[in-house]
Amino acid sequence: MRNTHLIVLGAVLLIACGGGGVDTVGNDLTFVPEDGPSVTMGTNMAICCGPWEAGYDERDTLKLFYYNRDLTRAFWKLFIDLDAITLGQPISLPSGDYSPLNMFVHDGRPIGNVDGNELSSSVDLSSGTITLHALSCDSPLQLNATVDVVLGSEYGDTESMAVRGEIFESVDVNPSPLGCNFSL
């Protein structure tokens, strides 16, 4: 009986001290190039709020990055200008260089002498919408978005990629050793 009381007391103290939060990390995005099949993206995640590009573009930004630890295979990033978006309003692509958001994908599949196609929402051949449903830089950091886009290649004549699904993140602390030191 004494052990049961200690376990209950420990759980109550953990919750009371703020340690009872549950991180929700994930997405169900699919990344499908024109020639198929889908590309598997990295599963390590970094999420933070900070400048878009420190020392260059100081917009307050929520930044999300899915990568592999060796940073050499397929990865994707999403940057959102916190002061320039309206929740629930779809953002149409192409987004342009100084838009309220930018999505970047490196697909990791060798193309000629390049180590992978690079695709971006700012490229003229991009289309579709991203809708932000929830967004917060307070603790916990939160992002919920619906993505239904085709990203154009930064290499011009290389294939585009369809990206579809939902992003759902809610974390108390950025789990990445990268911190907020990553750029588009």
Candidates 170, 168, 182, 166; CA nearest to 138 is: 170
| Ranges 55-59, 117-121, 173-177: which has the least confidence | 173-177
Q: Which helix (H) or strand (E) holds 12?
A: helix 2-16
Q: Higher-confidence residue: 158 or 142?
A: 142
Q: Higher-confidence residue: 16 or 126?
A: 126
| Ranges 18-27, 131-140, 153-162: which has the least confidence | 18-27
Return d(Cα 151, Cα 127) in angstroms, integer: 7
Return d(Cα 19, Cα 23) in angstroms, integer: 11
Q: Is the pLDDT of residue 52 over 50?
A: yes
Return d(Cα 52, Cα 59) in angstroms, integer: 5
Q: Is the pLDDT of residue 69 over 80?
A: no
Return d(Cα 89, Cα 51) in angstroms, integer: 23
Return d(Cα 77, Cα 13) in angstroms, integer: 37
> Angle 116-174-100 (CA atoms, 0-180°, nearest 5)?
60
Candidates 125, 107, 129, 103; CA nearest to 117 is: 107
Q: Is the pLDDT of residue 8 over 80?
A: no
pLDDT at 160: 93
| Ranges 3-12, 71-80, 83-92, 100-109: which has the least confidence | 3-12
With DSSP H G I counted as helix, E B as strand and the rest as coil, what are the percentages for the chain, rounded to 5?
A: 10, 45, 45
- Average pLDDT of the chain is 82
Q: How confident is the model at residue 113 (pLDDT cuts 50, 70, 90)?
A: low
Q: Higher-confidence residue: 123 or 71?
A: 123
Q: Taking the CA atoms of 165, 150, 85 and 181 in sequence, report the sign of the dihedral they define.
A: positive
pLDDT at 51: 92
Name the percent of the chain lying above pLDDT 90: 47
pLDDT at 96: 72
Name the E strands within 37-160: 44-53, 57-67, 75-81, 91-92, 101-106, 118-120, 127-136, 141-153
pLDDT at 30: 93
pLDDT at 95: 80
pLDDT at 71: 63
User: Left, alpha or beta for 179 (phi > 0: left; psi -120 to 50: alpha)?
Assistant: left
